[in-house]
Amino acid sequence: MHEMSFAAGVLEKMLEFAFSHPDRRLVEVKLAVGVLTCIDPEQLAFCYEAIAAGTVVAGSTLTMEPVEAIVKCAGCGYHGSPKLWDDGLASALAFAAPATLCCPECGGTAEALQGHECAIRSVRYTTSSLAAP
Amino acid sequence: MLTIQASPEEIYDIELEHSLLEANEKLARENRALLDCHGITAVDFMGAIGSGKTTLITRLVAMLRERCGVAVFNGDATTCADADPIAAMGVQVVQIATVNGCHLDANVVGKALRGIELDGLRLLMIENIGNLICPAEFPLGSKARVVVISVTEGPYMVRKHPHMFLGAAAVVINKIDLAEAMGISVEALANDVHALKPDIRVIPASCKTGAGLDEIAAMVTAF
């Protein structure tokens, strides 16, 4: 359950945001998470919302947008989407086939340039708490 | 003076770039720098509970301790059951009890590094928590990561846990002496690993019979 570690990291940053901007009420924090990580969006959102309860950012939600993988092959110069391990097992279970580091062009080992990230990208907030004169 | 106040419920978006991996990665780089400056190679062993990580490390310690300075970090949620037999061989061991943690991170490894005598060491073997998912996201500062799988984990274990293999330099397929009894093809498991990462080194082994152990010992001392 490594999602809790990431949720704690997000909460820490959001509390920092809240304390440095007491006039802003946090609504949503948006993350970008690479498809090569094994971070589960639903579990991460659940963990975040659970540990945010009781803090000044309680009620804010966490959303994630996936970052596609991009690989580069030193052998043949290929640069682009990874080869997927599509053996029918994934589609039978309605999952996305996992990305591999096997170069789709030459079969050599490619290096992932993108797809391993897990980062906060933006926050959404209101200033409604200060709107009353 | 004109002041403008946002209307209630007006919503703003601001960019706030902050990597959640960076804190651990920074500590991992610090661990690596400390190890490098003492001439120590650290190898991180990952794998499922029962894949044979502890037995493999114990066998490697017995093979290598006369040849070079070896130390071991054992990651486990609780107990010193794994660390005690290794300590009995006269090498430095740190038991890292993560209590409820499902993976080691660079912070606890850094703490453990500060608890041992680094001078004279050449090889540090770090046993991660028995888990095929979480440790993948947390580099520790080791020079190479090795995944230990075993034939008793079923024919689809690689296919089910692809992430773990992408960042690894080598895979040990352990318990090959049981392959026939389990009805498992070692070759098919190796093919699965190579489907994910063609250049990854795969070493079939048995900690019980000793098969493959010389090759693994040579590999971990050459990383």
CB A118 within 8 A of CB A33: yes
Give all domains of chain A, ordered by start, each with its CATH number. Answer: 1-68+115-133 (3.30.2320.50), 69-113 (no CATH)
Report the CATH number that the domain containing residue B110 is assigned in CATH. 3.40.50.300
Taking an 8 Å cut-off on Cβ atoms, the answer to whether A120 and B134 are in contact is: no
Whether B11 maps to a domain, the answer reads no
B6 touches chain A (CB under 8 A): yes
Can you state the percent helix, strand and coil of chain B, rounding each to 5? Answer: 35, 25, 40
B37 CA: distance to closest CA in chain A (Å) = 28
pLDDT tens-digit series, residues A95-128: 678 899 999 999 999 999 999 999 999 999 998 5
First and final C-alpha spacing in chain B: 68
CB B168 within 8 A of CB B201: no
pLDDT in tens, chain A (133 residues): 688 889 999 999 999 999 999 999 999 999 999 988 888 888 999 999 999 999 999 999 999 999 999 999 999 999 999 999 876 666 555 567 889 999 999 999 999 999 999 999 999 999 855 444 4
* A82 Cα to chain B: minimum distance (Å): 10
Secondary structure (DSSP) of A85-101: --SSHHHHTT-PPPB-S
CB-based burial label for A67 (10 Å; 0-12, 13-18, 19+)? buried
Q: Does residue B44 form part of some domain?
A: yes
Pairwise CA distance, residues B32 & B182, whole Å: 40
Give a yes or no: residue B140 inside a domain. Answer: yes
Question: Are B195 and A121 a contacting pair at CB < 8 A?
Answer: no
Q: Judge whether B8 lies within some domain.
A: no
Buried (b) or exposed (e) across B98-135, using 16+ Cβ within 10 A? beebbbbbbbbbbebbeebebeebebbbbbbbbbbbbb
Nearest CA to B157 out of B62, B64, B49, B63 is that of B49
Nearest to A16 by CA among A133, A114, A123, A119: A123
Which residues from chain A sit within 8 angstroms of residue B134, using beta carbons?
1-2, 38
Please state the pTM of the whole predicted model.
0.88
**Within-domain flag for B16:** no
* Chain A residues whose beta carbon lies within 8 Å of the beta carbon of residue B195: 85, 100, 102
Shortest CB distance from B18 goes to which of A13, A89, A101? A13
How much of chain A is helix, strand and coil, in % rounded to 5?
A: 30, 30, 40
In a domain, B13, yes or no: no
| Cβ-based contacts of B198 with chain A (< 8 Å) | 101-103, 107-109
Torsion angle, alpha carbons of B180, B183, B185, B189, to 10: -120
- ipTM comes to 0.82
Q: Which two tokens stand for residue A78?
A: 């290929």
Question: Which of B 184-213 lie inside 8 A of A, CB atoms?
Answer: 194-200
CB within 8 Å: B102 and A124: no
Host domain of residue B183: 23-220
Contact B136 A38 (CB under 8 A): yes
Using an 8 Å CB-CB cutoff, list chain A residues near B11.
27, 124-126
* Segment B169-223, tens digit of pLDDT: 999 999 999 999 999 999 999 999 999 999 999 999 999 999 999 999 999 999 9
* Overall number of domains in chain B: 1
Residue B188 lies in a domain: yes
| Chain B residue numbers touching A92 (CB-CB < 8 A) | none
How many helices and strands, by DSSP H and E, does chain B display? 9, 8
User: How high is the pLDDT of residue A133?
Assistant: 40
Residue B35 lies in a domain: yes
Q: Are B149 and B158 in contact (CB under 8 A)?
A: yes
